[in-house]
Amino acid sequence: MENLSDYSNNYPNEKKPGFFQRNAKTLKAVTIGFLVLLLLIPMNMIEDLIRERDYTENEAVGEVSQKWSGRQTIIGPYLNFDYIITHESMVDGKKNISTETKNLTLLPDELTIDGNLFTEIRRRGIYEVNVYQSALTLKGTFSPEELNKRGIDMEKICFENVTLCLGVADMRGISEQIQIKLGDSIYDFESGMNGKEIGYSGVSKIIDVPELKEQTIPYEINLKLKGSQSMFFIPVGKTTKINLQADWGTPSFDGSYLPESHDVTEEGFTAKWQVLNLNRSYPQTAMNFSNASDIKESRFGVNLRMPVEQYQQSMRTAKYAVLIILLTFVVIFFVETIDKKRIHVLQYLLIGLGLCLFYSLLLSMSEQMSFTLAYIIAAALTVGLIGLYMRGIMKKTKPALIMSGLLLALYTYIYVLIQLETLALLAGSLGLFVILAILMYFSKKIDWFSAN
């Protein structure tokens, strides 16, 4: 390569290249980098728009849930007794006897819940909300064994005026009068829990259970309950078994315990849980129950996940915007340098804005159709727009085809990445390594210090 002194000796009559001529490529690269940073402003606005639409969808879900019924959690049934403690003391030489009443909570020995969820889709504007109606059967037993094991004095327990409680997270979901068959008696629940709740609101009934002093009492409850988005349970039984089935093909099992077995098809799912009292951090019986936080932490169940979460996918796609803009600008710069065809900075900016517009198209279309179809249409429109524009400014077909092929490959690569979950980081890292290697290979073919 000729240095500047050789250039002056060989071409004495020609003007010596100035600073801007000698560093034109470097200055162009710096300008392109500045444009990439500048385009972060519209991309940030688009990401804010995605978050705003996601928030609007959550508001729509909240409105439907408020009018229908929200997420449901079932706790119980359980019994709450008045436990009378006698205190003796000496006052002025006289014996003084006082009593104190505490709440004694007894959880069931066995709890088995068989349930069916019947789902449907409600619409709020352009948003879909999944709601359900459920038919649940709760069976089990209450036993005095746990009271005896804890050393509770049975004579101090009031087996009359016992509060029988059943916790329901959202009372608006109760569709029919709730009855319980306890031993040989049938009771109708009443609203409220008279301050005996342990974590959740619900229904209760004042009953007499003198037979519980000596024998186990079976119970059975048929519960019709509406809800939306999820159904959860609290494992209050010494042994808790849940058998749940629903006509929903995209469940997400959540909470402190996963099902022991489950079967998921496009038509629905079935799931079975079994939880022992040894698996949780609160006892079967307690005085003045203060484990409400432990109760809530032990819940488990299923979220009825919507099969399409377009805002999450749109946001994940937008995270790769800088990569696509930068690579597109670099390739245009290489094409410009190799073909010796100058492209104005404003034309770079217009191409960058076209790339940003892809994400706005994707967001708006994904609200009206499937995300995959919206992605294909938005990518096709963007590739076509950039390709035709390159054909117009370069006056050649080859650079336009190169640019269109690059964008098509990038959009395909990004779509594959956002569909992956566990392998997304690995695939992304390997892809970036390959892209960097290709750029390094082509960059060494350019004479960065040439004044031509």
CATH number of the domain that 274 lies in?
2.60.40
User: Tokens 């038919």 identify what position?
Assistant: 135
Q: Are 246 and 356 part of one and the same domain? A: no
pLDDT band, very low/low/confident/very high, at 7 (cuts 50, 70, 90): very low
Q: Are 315 and 300 part of one and the same domain? A: no
pLDDT band, very low/low/confident/very high, at 67 (cuts 50, 70, 90): confident
Q: Are 302 and 316 part of one and the same domain? A: no
pLDDT at 55 (0 to 100) = 79
Residue range 110-128: average pLDDT?
86
Residue range 232-252: average pLDDT?
92
Q: Are 289 and 316 part of one and the same domain? A: no
Q: Are 269 and 393 part of one and the same domain? A: no
Q: Are 49 and 125 part of one and the same domain? A: no
Q: How many domains does the chain have?
A: 2
pLDDT band, very low/low/confident/very high, at 369 (cuts 50, 70, 90): confident
Higher pLDDT, 47 or 234: 234
Domain that holds residue 232: 70-306
In a domain, residue 12? The reply is: no
Q: Are 124 and 249 part of one and the same domain? A: yes
In a domain, residue 51? The reply is: yes
Distance in angstroms (rounded) separating the CA atoms of residues 386 and 25: 23
pLDDT band, very low/low/confident/very high, at 286 (cuts 50, 70, 90): confident
76 phi-psi bin (left φ>0, alpha ψ -120 to 50, beta other): left
In a domain, residue 452? The reply is: no
User: Of 306, 334, 367, which marks where a domain is finished?
Assistant: 306
Q: Rounded mean pLDDT of the chain?
A: 82
Distance in angstroms (rounded) separating the CA atoms of residues 226 and 206: 25
In a domain, residue 1? The reply is: no
Burial of 270 (0-12, 13-18, 19+ CB in 10 A): middle
In a domain, residue 11? The reply is: no
User: Of 264, 290, 306, which marks where a domain is finished?
Assistant: 306
Task: Characterize 117-138 residue by residue with b for buried, 16 or more Cβ atoms within 10 angstroms of its Cβ, and e for exposed.
Answer: bebeebebeebebbbbbbebeb
Q: Are 335 and 287 part of one and the same domain? A: no
In a domain, residue 60? The reply is: no
User: Of 280, 306, 332, which marks where a domain is finished?
Assistant: 306
Q: Are 319 and 268 part of one and the same domain? A: no
Q: Are 394 and 432 part of one and the same domain? A: yes
Tens of pLDDT, residue by residue over 30-65, are 787 788 888 888 888 888 888 888 877 777 777 777
Tens of pLDDT, residue by residue over 387-445, are 888 888 878 888 888 888 888 888 888 888 877 766 767 777 787 788 778 777 777 76
CB contact at 8 A, 313 and 415: no
Q: Are 300 and 352 part of one and the same domain? A: no
In a domain, residue 78? The reply is: yes
In a domain, residue 2? The reply is: no
Q: Are 395 and 324 part of one and the same domain? A: yes
pLDDT score of 273 more than 60: yes
If you write DSSP's letter for every residue of 339-354 in order, what string do you get?
HT----HHHHHHHHHH
